[in-house]
């Protein structure tokens, strides 16, 4: 495997998001505050203000998979020389590649989703429109009608192989709610206990309601600039130190890579690439951000990326802790379980704010490096951010 070099090609100079809490209240009342494009536009406006740059300084645009590229550019008034469409972690990757190739110097990444007010279904025969590709996403031939079923099976295997208890999984939900209680932008701020977790109902055993992410409307935007430009445009750039990726595609539609391997080989390769590229190791990371559509992602990533030995995630969660006051601060805004489900985009904002020192009561002292990991659909991706 080719190892990426430590280049610091680009840096994030601006972040923005919508009013997740306010829109949660409005959508629960039956209102539809915006569509996906509208949410993305609001986030763009906030990110541009945060970056302190003019719109005409942007020469690249990447949009999330929930908005059309041309319409997004039209609405934002952007004529760029390079653009694309991708999910959160791949958008950051594509931006770095485009900057290094000389296609653009200042790229805005925008995402908007009206998944709650629009009634998006993530399970059942009409999930996300019922497209044919869902035979891969949800594995309908195997009787799985939602991602919850898949992750419930993964958790059963993980429990059996590595001695992980259901109460251990509850530590994830409790810790992330603890962080959310310190975050005014989080939707779910009421602290919970392990007893609350155990009392919550099963949705797809062994996964309980508190193991599932939120479904809410909102938008996120990031402004990424070439490293030299970033230093002139911003007094507080957050650098993208290194990125790693590894895919598990063989036998993917039979679920084998995820159910049998639990992402592990891909995680280990992505970890090696990103940590070697940044010239650091897991012991140097101050904050971990883990994609968490389900709580299951967290212990798998803690082991897969080397924060503890295989089979030791339960002990790490119980004894060292990942919540406020713990030794390994993880998903410090509350994550998808408690802050907002923005499909990985909101984790990038928290990484930036922690490295800027802007997080108030949840700020991790002297934060120098933040690690983001995403393990979805057999792809393991890893980003190291540094100040």
Alpha carbons 260 and 351: distance in angstroms, whole number = 31
Is the Cβ–Cβ distance between 5 and 182 less than 8 Å?
A: no
- From 158, 307, 341, 372, active-site residue: 341
Q: Is 291 one of the catalytic residues?
A: yes
Report the alpha-carbon distance of residue 314 to residue 317 in Å, rounded.
5
List, in sequence order, the alpha helices (H) in the chain: 20-28, 36-51, 69-76, 88-101, 134-137, 147-162, 166-180, 194-199, 227-233, 256-259, 264-278, 297-304, 313-315, 335-338, 345-356
Query: Residues 268, 88: contact at Cβ < 8 Å?
Result: no
Task: Identify whether 122 is a catalytic site residue.
Answer: no
Is the CB of residue 96 less than 8 Å from the CB of residue 10?
yes
> What tokens does 12 get?
């994030």
Distance of alpha carbon 387 from alpha carbon 237, whole angstroms: 7
What gap in Å lies between CA 69 and CA 77, rounded to an integer? 12
Active-site residue among 122, 197, 291, 385?
Answer: 291
- Angle separating helix axes 297-304 and 147-162, nearest 10 degrees: 50
Task: Give the active site residues.
Answer: 291, 341
């Amino acid at each position: 495997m080719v190892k990426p070099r430590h280049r610091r090609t680009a840096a994030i100079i601006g972040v923005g998001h919508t009013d997740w809490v306010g829109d949660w209240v409005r959508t629960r009342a039956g209102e539809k505050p915006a569509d996906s494009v509208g949410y993305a536009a609001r986030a763009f406006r906030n990110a541009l203000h945060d970056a302190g740059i003019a719109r005409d300084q942007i020469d690249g645009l990447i949009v999330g998979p929930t908005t059309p590229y041309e319409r997004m550019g039209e609405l934002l008034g952007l004529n760029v020389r390079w653009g694309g469409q991708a999910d959160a972690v791949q958008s950051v990757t594509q931006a770095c590649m485009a900057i290094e190739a000389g296609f653009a110097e200042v790229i805005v990444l925008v995402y908007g989703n009206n998944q709650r007010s629009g009634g998006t279904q993530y399970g059942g025969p009409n999930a996300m429109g019922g497209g044919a590709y869902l035979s891969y996403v949800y594995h309908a031939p195997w009787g799985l009608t939602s991602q919850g079923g898949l992750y419930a099976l993964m958790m059963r295997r993980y429990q059996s192989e590595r001695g992980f208890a259901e109460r251990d999984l509850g530590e994830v939900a409790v810790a992330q709610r603890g962080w959310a209680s310190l975050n005014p932008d989080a939707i779910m701020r009421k602290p919970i206990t392990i007893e609350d977790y155990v009392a919550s109902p099963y949705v797809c055993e062994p996964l309980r309601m508190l193991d599932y992410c939120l479904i809410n409307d909102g938008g996120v935007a990031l402004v990424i600039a070439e490293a030299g430009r970033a230093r002139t445009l911003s007094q507080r750039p957050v650098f993208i130190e290194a990125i790693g990726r590894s895919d598990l595609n063989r036998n993917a539609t039979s679920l084998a890579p995820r159910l049998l391997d639990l992402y592990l080989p891909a995680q280990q390769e992505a970890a090696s690439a990103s940590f070697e590229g940044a010239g650091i190791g897991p012991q140097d990371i101050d904050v971990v951000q883990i994609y968490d559509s389900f709580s299951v992602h967290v212990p798998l990533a803690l082991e897969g990326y080397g924060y503890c030995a295989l089979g030791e995630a339960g002990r790490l969660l119980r004894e060292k802790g990942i919540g406020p006051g713990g030794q390994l601060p993880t998903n410090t805004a509350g994550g998808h379980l408690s802050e907002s489900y923005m499909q990985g985009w909101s984790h990038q904002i928290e990484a930036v704010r922690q490295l800027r020192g802007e997080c108030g009561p949840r700020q991790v002292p002297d934060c120098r490096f933040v690690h983001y990991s995403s393990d979805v659909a057999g792809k393991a991706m890893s980003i190291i951010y540094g100040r």
